[in-house]
Structure 1
């Protein structure tokens, strides 16, 4: 049998923490998630060398592996409000897939929005803005607006939205025909050459 250490051995420590508006508590400068319904509540935290366990009214509501990384977050998806969970499921790959379902120009435009940022995740908001326009204006109109935005070299969801709003007032976005440039006052037709 091993002798007991001379100093008392601490198994764990109890703390009290307040849940912040982002549904995280701070423990040793690291942020751990708790269920979002506990925002602004006080919770009890049992801290060991390897785990952080959170209790609300004696009910265990969260357990995390302890992290010693300062100013970082440990977040469980089930702790997020439904809107945040939906956003967390959005990835650049999923946005590219959704854009490809609209059309080639929309897919290309979304890809450029993602590539224009240092990190693709930073362009996700703009991509979501473009894709939501399909609900208001239709997929075909969005595809035409993205074609126009690509030709203009624009990289913003607002630009595409302004095109669609202007087209709604006075239609100018038209599908290209495969038989050349189309009719225009400055284009000589086949009869000119005969």
Structure 2
């Protein structure tokens, strides 16, 4: 989560612990951009050179993170800076049409109309896109947060052969799966996958 209150870096770490979590640090471009979407400005991440000037360490739950995405000219230690602010979380989403959401170099849209799976495929094509199929935990969670209280179709089905599920992202086979416990169960001849609360079911 991103707090509404401004903190120093040390206070931000303490506040995260008080909430039962830790100060985050991105470990990939996708996570970096996702956090950028949550933050309307600059937020702290768990990177610093307090132990040795110029030797930056980034940790997630005390595990060293190798990923870096410094803005040009950073780190420069201006004003004795010892903490990495997320200047790198700022990104340009101007390429996405209005009401679309940017993540991982792609634009996502949730339609307001309830559709069948086949109609959803067609509607996405009419909008100039494709029905999404998550390829990672991060993308899966991003899509889930766009529809926190409902199901949304994804491009996974076993229409060709019962029980053999194929997931495609623009006709590229996707290996990632995140089935809810007991799914897919083919109840009532269910052949298409949907996502809710970051787990999948067949419908």
TM-score normalized by structure 1?
0.23
Larger Rg: 1
Greater helix share, 1 or 2? 1
